[in-house]
Amino acid sequence: MRSNLMENSEPAHKIILLDCDLISHFIANSAINDLPRILDPHECVVLDYVYSEVAARPMRLAFLQPLINSGSIKKMDFPEDVEINKEFARIKSKKPIIGDGERACMAVARFTQDVVASSNFRDIAPYCTEHKILYLGTLDILSVAVAKGIYNEKQCDDFITTAIKYNKAKFPPGVTAMRYYTPKDLSFL
């Protein structure tokens, strides 16, 4: 992996707002328990809007809930902040196809400097870039897992195949294996 994945210096503690699609990819791969370890020392958080999307499929919730109960992943209510709520509504009016979970993550991150973790780059990347919000995708997280020695490249390739097969994951064009993906600068992790 590239050296820009992790620096020798300790990164500042961040809150990583997990979106439903990313959670679903890790559940489909029986790897949801690895997510907090991969992103350690940063805190994995599920906003209540995302939790509702996960809960709409009880089998997914059955995998996520034990991590919330153990404190490995935190569940957080959507803030009652006027500006965040206005931003949530503004995103909804401009892009009504974006789900509530993604919309909530983006609105919160805009005002808190949290990191958005989502696989739906088509919808979140332009917004995050415009507002200077740090964001990660499934492949970025897999890149971190390889850099930390948690997964090897073969495990990541299998992960990608499973996410595509069971979740209809849409990764960047041509990315069917880790060797075809160049992660962004992840030194902020």
pLDDT value at position 27?
97
Please tell me the pTM assigned to this model: 0.92
Q: Tell whether 25 is covered by a domain.
A: yes
In a domain, 156, yes or no: yes
Helices marked H in the chain: 20-28, 35-39, 48-55, 58-70, 82-94, 100-112, 121-130, 138-147, 153-167
Buried b (16+ CB within 10 A) or exposed e, 95-117: eeebbbbbbbbbbbbbeeebbbb
**Is residue 185 in a domain?**
no
CA angle 19, 21, 26 (to 5 degrees): 100
Q: Reduced to 3 states, what is the DSSP secondary structure of residue 13?
A: coil
With respect to residue 187, please indicate whether it lies within any of the assigned structural domains. Answer: no
Whether 188 maps to a domain, the answer reads no
Q: Going residue by residue through the chain, which has 189 residues, state the pLDDT in tens, using 9 for 90 and above.
A: 333 444 444 557 899 999 999 999 999 999 999 999 999 999 999 999 999 999 999 999 999 999 999 999 999 999 999 999 999 999 999 988 899 999 999 999 999 999 999 998 888 999 999 999 999 999 999 999 999 999 999 999 999 999 999 999 999 989 999 999 999 888 887
Within-domain flag for 51? yes
Please report, for the domain that includes residue 151, its CATH number: 3.40.50.1010
pLDDT, position 50: 98
Rounded to the nearest 5°, which phi and psi values hold at 136?
A: -125, 150
Q: Give the burial class of 170: count Cβ atoms within 10 A of its Cβ; 0-12 exposed, 13-18 middle, 19 or more buried.
A: middle
Counted domains in the chain: 1
Q: What pLDDT was estimated at residue 120? A: 86
Its domain, for residue 70, covers: 3-180
Count of C-beta atoms within a 10 Å radius of residue 155: 17
pLDDT of residue 51: 98
